Each structure stands twice: as C-alpha cells, then as structure tokens.
Amino acid sequence: MADKVLIVDDDPSICKLLEKVMHSNDLETDTAGSGTKALERLKHHTYDVILMDIMLGDMEGFEVIQHLREDGIQTPVMIVSGRNEDYDSIYGLSIGADDYITKPFRPVVLGAKVKALIRRTKNMMASQSSLLECGPFTYDSSTMRFYKDGEELILSSKESALLLLFIKHPGQIYTKDMIYEQVWGTTVAIDDNAIMVYINRLRGKIEKDRQKPAHIITVRGVGYRFVP
C-alpha cells in the first residue's frame, strides 16, 4: 500500500502541483482547502505526512499544527510556505512541525524531502517499538537494558527479571510464590529469604530511599506491588 499525504492549502493550483509531485513519487494524496477541513479529515483518516501551508483561509497553518499536537496526533508535518522569514520556520518547528520548505520549491527536492521524512518517521517508530515504558522506567528489549529518568540502571540478571515483571504489570500484587515462579522458574522449595534479598537489592538501585520505598511496596502478609 502506498504512503499517503494530506495536502493542506487554500490555493487549488498549488494543491494540483503538490498532488502531481507526490504522485510522481508514488505517494497517494488527499487535499483540504482550509484548516477546519484538515482537522476534520484527520479525525477520521491517518496519513504518513501532512504538507501544510501557513496562510489558510480560516486560520493559520500554525494553529492547525497546534491543534494536532494538543490532540495527540503525531503525524509528521512539513510546512510548505511562501513566507521565508527565519522566524516562521523557527516558530513552526518549535510548535511541532518536522520540516519547512519555501515556495517556489524544486519538485524533485520536495519529493525527496517528503520520502525522507516518511522513512525517518517509520524507522523511529520501529526503534521505539522495542521500548517498554512505565512511569520513569524504560526497558529496551533490543539491548535488554533498563533506565530510570534516562539514566541506565546496572542490574543483575535476577534484578532485571524482577524489574521487568513489575513494570509489565504495574499495580498488580505479586505473592512470593508468584515471584518465585516467574523469576526463578519454579515453585518448589521457595526461598523467602532469597526473594527479600533481591527485592532489597533492587530497591537500593531504583528507590531514592530503600527504607521508604515509593515503587516496590510491601503488601503485608501478601507480597509486593509495583507503583511506577
């Protein structure tokens, strides 16, 4: 299936030109002649890139971008505008645009930029899919490394298995039997002391104060609960 581009411009001749450039790069297109129409389309359709003019009939393209980002829509946006002031490009990028190109543009350059933006976004999404995030904690399955607030945690294999169990199931109460089965792989000859030793070691590495844990909470008489 071809990648799809939404063209947002109130000038029909520019829309036709942009459609032609996109089609020549094997990209499908939709068009919206106003900011309102663009926002409405994006409620019901997904796109790989949005080409956004700044000067629209009903609002500025900047406003459209702000609405998108506030709504959690992370589709990459390339501003295509006749305004070539540095302020416009800097402001556009600061509110969530991913690239800025001025009119008149060279069709071959625009096509290459759009395809590069799509490729970069897809690669980023693929790399992020290996990340498991839970509060301040991140686990990168591709490297089997853990991080808290961006800082790597140096953990043993048992500590890693414990933390992975917890961040996969935040809020769930785990009995010692359940922990021993998940981390040690058996329910035979459960060693309560071993569990407590590793819980304390893990607390020492992820808690600000292991004596007053904020993440690994003891549920008296039952087991432990993880609060991210």
Query: Helices in the chain by DSSP H: which ranges?
Result: 12-24, 35-44, 61-70, 86-94, 107-128, 157-168, 176-179, 192-206
Judging by beta carbons within 10 Å of its beta carbon (0-12, 13-18, 19+), is residue 62 exposed, middle or buried? buried
Mark which of 128, 162, 178 sits at the end of a domain.
128
Instruction: Supply the CATH number for residue 70's domain.
Output: 3.40.50.2300
Same domain, 63 and 88: yes
Asked whether 162 and 179 are in contact (CB, 8 A), the reply is yes
Q: Comparing 12-16, 106-110, 155-159, 211-215, which segment has the lowest mean pLDDT?
A: 155-159
pLDDT at 151 over 80: yes
Rounded CA separation 216/228 (Å): 9
Whole-number pLDDT of residue 127 = 63
Domain count, the chain: 2
Q: Comparing 39-48, 94-103, 118-127, 194-203, which segment has the lowest mean pLDDT?
A: 118-127
Whole-number pLDDT of residue 190 = 63
Same domain, 11 and 111: yes
Q: Comparing 80-84, 88-92, 189-193, which segment has the lowest mean pLDDT?
A: 189-193
Same domain, 107 and 159: no
Same domain, 44 and 83: yes
Task: Specify the 3-state DSSP secondary structure of 125.
Answer: helix
Task: Specify the 3-state DSSP secondary structure of 146.
Answer: strand
Q: State which of 13-17, 151-155, 173-177 shows the largest mean pLDDT.
A: 13-17
Segments forming the whole domain that contains residue 55: 4-128
Which strand ranges, in their side-by-side order, compose the sheet holding 137-140?
Answer: 131-134, 137-140, 145-148, 151-153
Same domain, 118 and 148: no
Rounded CA separation 198/133 (Å): 22
pLDDT at 113 over 80: yes
Whole-number pLDDT of residue 128 = 60
Q: State which of 18-22, 103-107, 218-222 shows the largest mean pLDDT.
A: 18-22
Residues in the chain: 228
What does the DSSP 8-state code read for residue 168?
H
Same domain, 181 and 221: yes
What rounded mean pLDDT belongs to the chain?
90
Mark which of 100, 128, 156 sits at the end of a domain.
128
User: Which residue's entry shows tokens 């899919």?
Assistant: 129
Instruction: Supply the CATH number for residue 194's domain.
Output: 1.10.10.10
Same domain, 8 and 26: yes
Asked whether 51 and 7 are in contact (CB, 8 A), the reply is yes
For the chain, how long is the longest CA-to-CA vector? 77
Rounded CA separation 194/183 (Å): 11
pLDDT digits (tens, 9 = 90+) for 161-178: 999 999 999 999 999 888
Same domain, 36 and 57: yes
| CB atoms inside a 10 Å sphere around CB 185 | 9
Same domain, 75 and 59: yes
The whole model's pTM is what?
0.59
Same domain, 80 and 19: yes
Mark which of 94, 128, 162 sits at the end of a domain.
128
Same domain, 118 and 161: no
Whole-number pLDDT of residue 129 = 63
pLDDT digits (tens, 9 = 90+) for 24-80: 999 999 999 999 999 999 988 889 999 999 999 899 999 999 999 888 788 899 999
Same domain, 113 and 19: yes
